[in-house]
Amino acid sequence: MVTDSRTDEHGALFVTADSEDPRFNQPYIDVREWRDEPADAPVFPGAITTQHGGVAPIKARHLYVHGGFTGTSAKFSFCFPPEEEYQGRFFQATHQLLAGEEATARNVAFALASGGYSVQTNMGGSENPRTAEQSTSGQFDTTIRGYRVNAEAAKFSRVVAADMYGPHRTYGYLYGGSGGAYQTVTSAEMTSGVWDGFIPYVMGSPQSIPNCFTPRVNALRVLKDKWPSILDAIEPGGSGDPYAELNDEERGALEEATRAGFPPRAWFNYIPQGGGPLVLVAQYVPVLDPTYPDDFWSEPGYLGTDPTSSVRAARIQHEATVVEVIPGRRKQLRLSSVPRGDLTAADVIITSGAAAGKTASLGRVASDGRGQVGLVFESVGDTIEITASPTIINSIEAGDEIRIDNSRFLALQTYHRHQFPPANPDFDYPAVYDYFRNSDGTPKYPQREVDIGAAGTLGSTGQIPTGRFNGKMVVVECLLDGDALPWQADWYRKKVEAIEGPRMDEKFRLWYVDNANHTDPTTETQQTHAVAYSGTVQYALRELSAWVEQGVAPPPTSEYRVEEGQVHVPATAADRKGIQPVVDLMVNGGERAQVAVGEAVTFTAQITVPPAPGQVVSAKWDFEGLGTYPDAADLGDPTSEPVHVSTTHAFSKPGTYFPALRVASQREGNPSTPFARSLNFSRVRVVVSE
């Protein structure tokens, strides 16, 4: 029986505090034990879920509760603090690609340190589709992973909390990034009384798939020889004109990516990473629009039939014979020949043998035998690496014929031209899409009949965002995000504003985070060009809980403007608002200095915080540009007043350096806690000669 529940116009279940989900109405507990510290938990391979594995930054005793829902493979875990530390709330992280129901140690530690318990599910287990084919097959109810399993786990957690701490009002907060942002928004719109507040971060829009990624892979292909000059212009102390040395085709590719919303400063990260998450969503196109690749190479109006485009010369269709199948963790094939040219994301089409007609993905082979899919292709002699289902891989034998073909990937690179939304109230975003229209509003390019973006969004959560939600919400969006383009948060803000009007500030905030990417930095290159935003999300969660529980209004929405696809924020913290500190760093009084080896260089900086609770608690120098930030500045006591720091440094070797100062403000002004620290930095250029 279903009580006090209803469905929307599409038949999707609307969940309330008192409703009963017919699929997840029999929760059980199979583990209940006290632990002295949060356990490490795996995340999706590659850590691309915006959730972070690894050990917790603090030890914290807690009651671990594990269970699931009878008759399903849906599972959950709760981690409760001791009664004397509990303040009546829980925090629940979500992402549709999370590997399981075990919350990461960092998320558990944050929840416990914030007076709450953590909740996490496995998004429905076997009922969580993992591929584009599964998501669009109609065989899966994507509302299950979109919000229903999370909602039922949240509701049951309150039952367990009441049993542990006694009857009380338990406040709940759901947060998720990237695909988890879709889930968070849908949960806010399709539930009532389950959660009190929501933080979607690095969020996309119903046109993200595949349009967030295709303009950049097209630019990566066209501009592959021009990146040094482009990056030099963009970096601090550069000319500021990345187009200076480009021909017409190159200029067009860079401009198109920029107008689509890709942040120019984010190019530092995508040269080695290629299409990034594109590999996860690219299959939506052949599944839903199977004639597109053929049309691309044969119909007028597509780049494949443009005689002036370099795409035709980049096309590779190479026939070869499998000489040897090399076993191992990832299957490799030694071929009669391997073609020259860029084979990034090319298909391996088996044309004879038991697997004839099947397609595998071309992986990346390195000299150590390890590989990845979707990155720039490298072969080792005549050997390639492939990935596909075990059935396909195990049926390939020596003597089989194959074709290495990059036609589909080349066609995909400009799919965004042919599938942008029409000018209508449901989605139109003129700041971006007018670039793809003629002056009379008609499309510049032939348009596909299928809406891949909407299908991908429905495949993630079963719903298209409307802007009509229950509870309170803070959106955190990053200005260097090339995977969830920054303007998309403004798109959702406009949807909310259209519904709430002048009442919007009573329930909604949008905070932009500068110098932050789609995930926290891990590599040396990322550490020198971006800061982690996860502490800002934690800061926002605490602001959200104070807003809900105490009526304390959080800092106002960031000031910004969207112009030709790019989000611009004011230079000062006072004008920018939000919660992130701002750093103004100078070297010898400017953004660039030219000095000799051994010459002392003077660095000065001002650190300011916006009108928000945070206080400056940390400032660290990285003079050599290694991303390690080994030298701490002397700040004195935490303060919300402007902080001025200065120092000198001499470089022992010639070269071009990008010294940086990375700072943190902490919501409670506590320099010793690892949580709720909002980071920012500033960089300058120093050219050192003999």
Tell me the pLDDT tens digit for each residue of 344-386: 888 899 999 999 999 988 765 443 333 333 334 445 568 777 8
Tell me the pLDDT tens digit for each residue of 553-571: 999 999 999 999 999 999 9
Split at pLDDT 50, 70, 90, the class of 1 is very low
Predicted local confidence at residue 528, as pLDDT = 95
CA distances from 377 to 98, 337, 340, 563 (A): 28, 15, 11, 36
Q: Residues 248, 250, 253, CA angle at the centre, nearest 5°?
A: 110
Predicted local confidence at residue 136, as pLDDT = 76
Q: Which residues of 82-104 are buried (b: 16+ CB within 10 A; e: fewer)?
A: eeeebeebbbbbbbbbbbbbbbb
Predicted local confidence at residue 365, as pLDDT = 42
Asked if residues 614 and 680 have their Cβ atoms less than 8 Å apart, the reply is: no
Predicted local confidence at residue 77, as pLDDT = 97
Tell me the pLDDT tens digit for each residue of 149-206: 999 999 999 999 999 999 999 999 999 999 999 999 999 999 999 999 999 999 999 8
The closest of 119, 255, 312, 195 to 564, measured between CA atoms, is 255
Q: What does DSSP assign to residue 145?
A: I
Sign of CA dihedral 238, 239, 242, 248: negative
Predicted local confidence at residue 4, as pLDDT = 47
pTM higher than 0.75, yes or no? yes
Q: Mean of the per-residue pLDDT values for the chain?
A: 90
Tell me the pLDDT tens digit for each residue of 525-551: 899 999 999 999 999 999 999 999 999
DSSP assignment of 548-579 equals: HHH--PPPPPPP-EEETTEEE--SSHHHH-SS
pLDDT of residue 287 exceeding 60, the answer is yes
CA distance 473 to 312: 47
State residue 97 phi and psi, 5-degree precision: -100, 5
Predicted local confidence at residue 131, as pLDDT = 76
CA distance 246 to 327: 45
The closest of 146, 198, 191, 165 to 463, measured between CA atoms, is 146
Neighbouring C-beta atoms of residue 425, cutoff 10 Å: 7
CA distance 142 to 135: 7
Q: What does DSSP assign to residue 51?
A: -
Predicted local confidence at residue 280, as pLDDT = 72
Give me the percent of the chain exceeding a pLDDT of 90. Answer: 74
Tell me the pLDDT tens digit for each residue of 434-493: 999 999 989 999 999 888 888 888 888 888 899 999 999 999 999 999 999 999 999 999
pLDDT of residue 276 exceeding 90, the answer is no
CA distances from 172 to 4, 60, 118, 542, 595 (A): 21, 20, 10, 12, 55
pLDDT of residue 42 exceeding 80, the answer is no
Mean pLDDT of all residues in 641-650: 96
Split at pLDDT 50, 70, 90, the class of 218 is very high
Asked if residues 406 and 315 have their Cβ atoms less than 8 Å apart, the reply is: yes
Give me the percent of the chain exceeding a pLDDT of 70. Answer: 93
pLDDT of residue 224 exceeding 90, the answer is no
Tell me the pLDDT tens digit for each residue of 179-194: 999 999 999 999 999 9
Tell me the pLDDT tens digit for each residue of 24-35: 999 999 999 999
Tell me the pLDDT tens digit for each residue of 56-76: 888 999 999 999 999 999 999
CA distance 112 to 401: 58
Lowest mean pLDDT among 24-38, 93-107, 217-231, 241-255: 93-107
**Which parts of 274-332 fold into alpha helices (H)?**
278-281, 284-288, 292-298, 311-314
Sign of CA dihedral 534, 535, 536, 539: positive
CA distance 199 to 203: 10
Predicted local confidence at residue 273, as pLDDT = 65
Predicted local confidence at residue 363, as pLDDT = 66
Query: Is the previous residue joined to 210 through a cis bond, with omega within 30 degrees of 0?
Result: yes
Asked if residues 2 and 21 have their Cβ atoms less than 8 Å apart, the reply is: yes
Split at pLDDT 50, 70, 90, the class of 272 is low
Asked if residues 237 and 186 have their Cβ atoms less than 8 Å apart, the reply is: no
Q: What does DSSP assign to residue 50?
A: S
Tell me the pLDDT tens digit for each residue of 402-418: 999 999 999 999 999 99
